[in-house]
Amino acid sequence: MPRRRIVIAGISGNGKTTLGRRLAHKVGVPFTELDALMHQPGWVQAETETFRLEVEAVMDASDGWVLDGMYQGQLGDLVLRRADTLVWLDQPLPLVVGRLVRRVVKDIVTKRDLFNGNRQTWRFAFFTRDSLISFAIKSHFKRRREWPAAIGAPPNLEIVRLRSPREVERWLECQTPD
């Protein structure tokens, strides 16, 4: 029987990466943050075909995995077709924005390497039209209006919508290695 194939989705600040790492460790499968495959050095986005091939390679490398992100615009239904579970982190916007602002400020101050040498900047996080913060807020409302119907999930895909840190913890406690 194949091991778990789980994709975690939600706006920035929901805790996708944290949950993904914890979950992958708990169920004994590899974890991949798709942002690290998409954003090349200098914040250059990977070519769609290259990105697709890298994501396929990650999914083919193991019979189970946890992915942080879906990138439907670039990948279409590639990830969802191969996943058995979609975890949608849909926590309250004030909680998410607070987490996101704290993370961004910490990343800027510490100059943390997010992936491939890329670092967060004040400008990108707060002061552009589609800054990380404004994008997260807009995406929050758009996703609530359009998901899950708009994602075109295959019928065998289990969709788990978690709306609070407590729900996240309860769900995580119930996960076991296959």
Give the mean pLDDT of the chain.
Answer: 92
Tell me the C-alpha distance between 96 and 164, whole Å. 10
Least confident of 71-75, 118-122, 142-146: 142-146
Domain ranges of the chain: 5-174
Mean pLDDT, to the nearest integer, of 72-91?
Answer: 93
Nearest to 8 by CA among 103, 85, 91, 95: 85
- Model confidence at 154: pLDDT above 70: yes
**Residue 58 pLDDT:** 97
Q: How many CA atoms lie within 13 A of 19 on its CB side?
A: 30
Helices assigned H by DSSP within 39-174: 48-60, 72-75, 78-82, 93-110, 122-126, 132-146, 165-174
**Residue 117 pLDDT:** 93
Tokens of 37: 């495959």
Class of domain 5-174: alpha beta
**Residue 2 pLDDT:** 61
Tokens of 69: 């992100």
Q: What percent of the chain has pLDDT over 70?
A: 97
List, for residues 4-20, the tens digit of each pLDDT value. Answer: 999 999 999 999 999 99
Mean pLDDT, to the nearest integer, of 33-53?
Answer: 96
Question: Do 115 and 38 meet the contact criterion of CB atoms below 8 Å apart?
Answer: no
